[in-house]
Chains A and B, each alone.
Chain A
Amino acid sequence: MSLLTVQSVSKIYSTLTALSSVDMTVRQNEFHGLIGPNGSGKSTMLKCLAGAEIASSGTIHLAGRNITRMSPQDRSRAGLSLKFQITAILPELAVYDNLLIALQAHQSFWGLLRSGSRDRLHEQVVHYLERFRLRERQYDLAGELSHGQQQWLEIAMALSLQPKLLLLDEPTAGMSPQERRATGELLQPIRQQCSLLIVEHDLDFIKDMCDSLTVLDQGQIVASGPTADVQNDVRVKEVYLANV
């Protein structure tokens, strides 16, 4: 059953067509990779999905709801969560508080004023800290974590919102090979929880992780389907693999 359905989405910036009539589907509990050379429109696609940009035309449905023109916060409430390409944790807050702020996102004003869920959310905060190997650093400022740990923290924050679809924009960018391997291990269990859409440059990583791939080039879809099929697609080899 499809969770995300993108139909004929285009994004035009004055004279530049960043996306041209893109169709894409992500099924439930599927790991889907979005790849393409620089300037292919991957980031624009992700921005249109997350609400940082509004598509010029076309529709985006998440779990049957039309989210094409929703604000980022409404999309978040509808079950979409995003990890940015450039790490966007809260550097002057403790690692613990970064997770708390994500976990309490859907509380009421009054509940937040009374700090009513502080104790109740403690166990969940600890659960995510342990799951993403950050427990030891929970009281450190998030800005003092290593780059890889900051990426994990952001993935943990995005996942703690219990999304239906998690968007990860280059989750292994700037990571060491060990951190990359560890990230793969940390992401695998997510499959039981939600679907995943990953934009990534590291092809080995994405091939091992994803069930299906969509390849973009110059704002258009070159190929889309199961990972093995897309990998062997001649056009993909021509336009993408040769450029990487």
Chain B
Amino acid sequence: MPEVRRTTITVLTVIELALLSAALVMPVFLDSFWVLFLTKIFILALLALSFDLVWGYAGIMSFGQALFFGVAGYATALLSQKVGVSSVFILLPLAAAVGLALAFLMALLVILGKRIPSLAFVALGTMTGSYVVERLARGWSYVGGQNGISSLPRLTAGTLEIEEGLLFCYMALAILVVIYAACRWLVRSQFGLVLAGIRQQESRIAFLGYDVQTFKAVIFSFAGMIAGISGALFAFHEGFVGPGQLGPVLSTQAVLYVLFGGVGTLIGAVIGVTVLDMLNYLLPQMTFLGPTVKNFVETGWPILLGLLLLATVLFRPSGLMGFVMRDRSRNFLFGKKAESDDTQSGEGKA
């Protein structure tokens, strides 16, 4: 009889450990271009994680994660440019607070209400928020208008300047690992069990006595906080923040990363970012494919990306993770497993 597995050493854990080992070792052996590339992947993986939390675990379709990403980027960029603050110990907590507060505000508008809002209402509400703020940034000269804010100073930790390169790369990795671990712990807690219930039968969970909207607002705000941290890291890594970091295009990219990697697995979000960004960079480099293909990839990447998404949704809704994990193995036991069962059935049930 098929059973839900208690998480011990599973395919998922093996993938997580393998990727962590690779991420720890690789930067040392890569040249500076690839270190920068890898850093960007670590940072965008945070944005993708924030979307996976809201959609993959709580069933909230947010098309506005870039809003929290971009506004936190702008807020920290302004603080560093206008006030001269560059300390990572001030800027990153500020980014987290901005992402959290803004996501909570958005939750007040689209999630918290008398009635449970529909999926489409939340999707359109978040997308509209993202679009409106992007338009606002484009027209507002104080934040640089179309050009955004450039030439951001380097982040500092005390007297240490965090240069783009190995140091920044390992800092981004450390933040990614800590946040990933926190998300993993959250989704496997009893709180995560409620989220799993909300995703499957929202109305049923309300009849059990749970305040569904509050749970959704909490996870949405937490995800906004992660997107905020990601946005600030991105701005200081690139030395630039612009309206493109706020809008629906980046928000949709976060959706793509997660759908492509595998929704509701956390690690799928990280894999989605890695594979899609690598494809985006490597495909035009493959000269043996001929100039037509090269030109098409360079100019038509958004079209390719769209086709890829369409193919994923139609043929492999579980994303890349679906190749290595059956749907069943995504389900794990939240509750305590009886000790007597462990001893009786051994590995078969563990």
Contact = CB atoms under 8 A, between A and B. Distances in A.
Interface in A151-204: 157, 161
Interface residues of A, number: 48
B25 interface: no
A122 B338 contact: yes
Interface stretch (A15-23, A35-43, A87-95, A230-238): A87-95
B281 interface: no
B197 interface: yes
A112 B336 CA distance: 14
Contact of A101 (B2, B4, B208, B328): B208
B209 A139 contact: no
B209 A73 contact: yes
Contacts of B1: 137, 140, 144
Contact of A77 (B203, B209, B336): B209
A2 interface: no
Interface stretch (B84-92, B93-101, B186-194): B186-194
A97 B193 contact: yes
B3 A72 contact: no
A101 B191 CA distance: 9
A112 B190 contact: yes
A115 B190 contact: yes
B347 interface: no
B335 interface: yes
A141 interface: yes
Interface in A113-166: 113-119, 121-122, 125-126, 137, 139-141, 144, 157, 161
B125 to A, nearest CB: 22
Contacts of B189: 112-115
Given A76-B207, A82-B207, A141-B2, A107 B190 contact: yes
A126 B338 CA distance: 9
Contacts of B203: 52, 72, 88
B331 to A, nearest CB: 6
B102 interface: no
B221 to A, nearest CB: 12
Given A76-B209, A139-B349, A100 B204 contact: no
B279 interface: no
A90 B204 contact: yes
Nearest to B114: A71
A116 B193 CA distance: 13
Interface string B1-40: 1111000000000000000000000000000000000000
B271 to A, nearest CB: 22
B206 A97 contact: no
Contact of B190 (A118, A125, A141, A157): A118
A226 to B, nearest CB: 30
Contacts of A82: 207
Contact of B194 (A112, A121, A137, A161): A112
Contacts of A122: 335-336, 338
Nearest to A78: B209
B333 A96 contact: yes
Contacts of A117: 190
A57 interface: no
A45 interface: no
Nearest to B339: A122
A88 B204 contact: yes
Contact of B200 (A51, A92, A114): A92
A110 B327 CA distance: 30
A52 B115 CA distance: 11
Contacts of A100: 190, 193, 334-335
A35 to B, nearest CB: 23
Contacts of A101: 193-194, 197, 205, 208, 334
Given A139-B3, A141-B328, A72 B335 contact: no
A94 B204 CA distance: 16
Given A73-B209, A76-B208, A113-B186, A141 B191 contact: no
Given A93-B4, A112-B190, A50 B200 contact: no
A105 interface: yes
Given A97-B193, A113-B191, A141-B328, A73 B335 contact: no
B210 interface: yes
A139 B338 CA distance: 11
A76 B207 CA distance: 6
B227 interface: no
Contacts of A71: 114, 206
Interface string B236-273: 00000000000000000000000000000000000000
Closest 10 pairs between A and B when the two form their complex, measured CB to CB: A76-B209, A94-B4, A112-B191, A139-B3, A88-B204, A105-B209, A112-B190, A100-B335, A122-B336, A115-B189
Given A88-B207, A101-B193, A104-B194, 20 more contacts: A71-B114, A76-B208, A76-B209, A84-B204, A90-B196, A93-B197, A97-B193, A97-B334, A97-B335, A100-B190, A105-B208, A109-B191, A113-B186, A117-B190, A119-B336, A121-B335, A122-B335, A125-B335, A139-B333, A139-B341
